């Protein structure tokens, strides 16, 4: 009898701690799933937030009934799934964080690559070679390149030969 009482009290305490911690996870970092998921469900346009809301709420709700009103459940069905609710929310939020971080890094890399492009080119106009910004280059212009210069635009080699570093491409 003493062992049964201690294991039951230990289980009750464990479930109560899980209830408190999971409720905090759902109420604070997980609230965004409720705020955006519920309206989407009500409009009959469910999205990922709605699915997370449903999964987390189902696990938390069933577990809460098993903890506080176990007599409502069939014998042997008193189990809790608080950790599932917390894990669903935590993993989705972690995934979104990692995705945002990767997008940020990609954006920074693209911006850095854009900084490597040429901003002007030497163009032949009216028999003279002049420096023009990219916006002023027109189809049919002849662009003059020096060795190692950045190529400002696509084109056809009219005269000469060289090596082009295509590593950026």
Per-residue pLDDT at 15: 95
Strand order of the β-sheet with 128-133 is 128-133, 120-125, 142-144
* Cβ atoms of 82 and 21 closer than 8 Å: yes
Q: For residues 85 and 54, what is the distance between their CA atoms, to the nearest angstrom?
A: 10
Q: For residues 138 and 31, what is the distance between their CA atoms, to the nearest angstrom?
A: 54
Per-residue pLDDT at 8: 62
Q: What is the mean pLDDT of each run of 10 residues along the chain (169 residues)?
A: 55 94 96 96 96 97 96 91 96 96 89 82 90 91 86 87 73
Per-residue pLDDT at 112: 83
Q: For residues 133 and 144, what is the distance between their CA atoms, to the nearest angstrom?
A: 14
SS3 state at 43: coil
Give whole-number Cα distances, 59 to 26, 85, 157, in Å: 11, 5, 67
């Amino acid at each position: 009898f003493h062992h049964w009482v201690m294991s039951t009290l230990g289980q009750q305490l464990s479930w109560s701690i899980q209830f408190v911690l999971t409720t905090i996870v759902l109420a604070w970092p997980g609230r965004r799933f409720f705020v955006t998921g519920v309206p989407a469900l009500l409009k009959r346009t469910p999205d990922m937030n709605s699915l997370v809301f449903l999964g987390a709420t189902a696990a938390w709700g069933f577990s809460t009934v098993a903890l506080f009103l176990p007599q409502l459940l069939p014998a042997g069905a008193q189990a809790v799934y608080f950790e599932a609710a917390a894990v669903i929310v935590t993993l989705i939020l972690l995934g979104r964080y990692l995705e945002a971080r990767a997008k940020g890094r990609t954006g920074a890399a693209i911006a850095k690559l854009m900084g490597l492009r040429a901003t002007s080119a030497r163009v032949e106009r009216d028999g003279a070679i002049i420096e023009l910004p990219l916006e002023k280059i027109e189809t049919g212009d002849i662009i003059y390149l020096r060795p190692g210069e950045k190529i400002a635009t696509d084109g056809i080699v009219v005269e000469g030969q060289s090596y082009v570093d295509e590593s950026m491409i």
